[in-house]
Amino acid sequence: MERIIFYTKENCPLCDNALAMLKLLQHDYPFEIEERDIYTNDAWLEQYQLQIPVVQFRGTILNCEQISYQALEHTLCKTRED
């Protein structure tokens, strides 16, 4: 099964919204969500601190400014067709 890596942190309303969108999309697209708290890894914190939430799927990365339901669905569909 495909896996989406979801970089997140506690007390983050944008992260909560992005996770809700991902869970809705799981009804139509089979994938697992691997949540990674950026405060548990210095490299993740340095890389994604100002971009949280971040979704990574098959080489595509969407940051907080790019994440929307349509963008997530497009990413899932695009990678299916490749």
Bridge partners of 6, per DSSP, are 35, 55
In the sheet where 31-37 sits, what is the strand order?
31-37, 2-8, 54-57, 60-62
Q: What is the pLDDT of residues 7-17, one digit of tens each?
A: 999 999 999 99
* Domain, as residue range, for 13: 2-81
Split into its structural domains, the chain has a count of: 1
Q: What is the pLDDT of residues 28-70, one digit of tens each?
A: 999 999 999 999 999 999 999 999 999 999 999 999 999 999 9
CATH of the domain at 24: 3.40.30.10
Global model pTM greater than 0.75: yes
